[in-house]
Amino acid sequence: MAYEYILVEKRDRVGLITLNRPEALNALCAGLIDELGQAVALFEADDEIGCLVVTGSERAFAAGADIKEMIGKDFQQVYREDFITDDWEVLAKTRKPVIAAVAGYALGGGCEVAMMCDFIIAAENAKFGQPEITIGTIPGAGGTQRLTRIVGKSKAMDMCLTGRMMDADEAERCGLVSRVVPVDKLMEEAMAAAAKIAGHSLPVTMIAKESVDRSYETTLSEGLRFERRVFHSTFALDDRREGMTAFAEKRKADWKHR
Ligand code: CAA
């Protein structure tokens, strides 16, 4: 499929999506969001793919929603369209794991898209922020919600009210990113992590993701109950028996469902 704003590649069992609108620092115009949704849906349906990686350029993961596209919109229109539309949520709804590999700016919608992924690996030059306040609006794709759940109220308020950027070290300290690596190692690290994930049993991986995600939506006791039930469900899989048998026999597991 030919795309205008993204590059899409399959590397073994990893689906790589590169945001590719360099002239606008990967600003997330409607066309880009549409293509991102299509690419994610194709990888989600592709049995050969076990993990996705979303990245941008060395200069920018994405500098936010496209401000020039938004300038002329009025309340009637954004309300009618329910802008930011559900199309934006495609990464958050993906059942296969998704890693965001972030270098450079991840601002506004860019930070929000990164937070929709399961975890973020950041290059040392990464800069995260919710600067919408500086252009007279507020985050509209999860910046006040996901960021607050991830980094807590104080830091989220700081970011959303001042509009300042945080660097990769601060992002790692507050748990927004899982690891920070040199810029020239970002893709190697992200693709290696994705290959490792894609090398596990796919249903077990999806169950693990679903269970961690559940912790964001529910109370601890309900979350623990959910975890136990889906833990039990892994015992219905050949791969659970194979994984434990392989451990006992000191050999590599040969997963049936990848
Ligand atoms: N929308 C549209 N175009 C953008 C853009 C955006 N979010 N961010 C950058 N661009 C464009 C610039 O207009 C510029 O284009 P021209 O060359 O045609 O003028 C090009 O990308 C390069 O940008 P700069 O010249 O500004 O580059 P810089 O290095 O001087 O600054 C920057 C980089 C600090 C990231 C700056 O571009 C910037 O502040 N961008 C906007 C960040 C922002 O406010 N994001 C939030 C958007 S609102 C949102 O995302 C709502 C939501 O919750 C979904």
> What are the pocket residues of ligand 1 if the criterion is a CB atom closer than 6 Å to any ligand atom?
24-25, 27, 63-68, 84, 105, 107-109, 112, 131-132, 135, 139-141, 143
Q: Would you state the pLDDT for residue 145? A: 97
Q: Would you state the pLDDT for residue 4? A: 98
Atom of ligand 1 nearest to the CA of 108: 50
CB 95 within 8 A of CB 209: yes
The Cα–Cα gap between 36 and 27 comes to 13
Three-class DSSP labels, 85-131: CHHHHHHHHCCCCEEEEECCEEECHHHHHHHHCCEEEEECCCEEECH
pLDDT digits (tens, 9 = 90+) for 109-144: 999 999 999 999 999 999 999 999 999 999 999 999
CB half-sphere exposure, 172, CA atoms < 13 A: 13
53 by DSSP, 3-state: which? strand
pLDDT digits (tens, 9 = 90+) for 5-64: 999 999 999 999 999 999 999 999 999 999 999 999 999 999 999 999 999 999 999 999
Atom of ligand 1 nearest to the CA of 142: 53
Average of per-residue pLDDT across 75-84: 93
Contacts of 15 (CB under 8 A, 6+ apart): 8, 9, 39, 43, 46, 49, 51, 52, 53
List the catalytic residues. Answer: 65, 109, 112, 132
Model confidence at 258, pLDDT cuts 50, 70, 90, reads confident
The alpha carbon of 196 and the centre of ligand 1 are apart by a number of angstroms equal to 35
DSSP 8-state symbol, 85:
P
**What ipTM does the predicted assembly reach?**
0.98
Average of per-residue pLDDT across 230-257: 96
Give me the amino acid identity at 241: R
The alpha carbon of 107 and the centre of ligand 1 are apart by a number of angstroms equal to 9
Q: 């296969």: which residue's tokens?
A: 96
The alpha carbon of 25 and the centre of ligand 1 are apart by a number of angstroms equal to 7
Atom of ligand 1 nearest to the CA of 131: 44
The chain-wide mean pLDDT, for the chain, equals 97
Low-confidence winner among 83-92, 103-112, 121-130, 228-237 (lowest mean pLDDT): 83-92
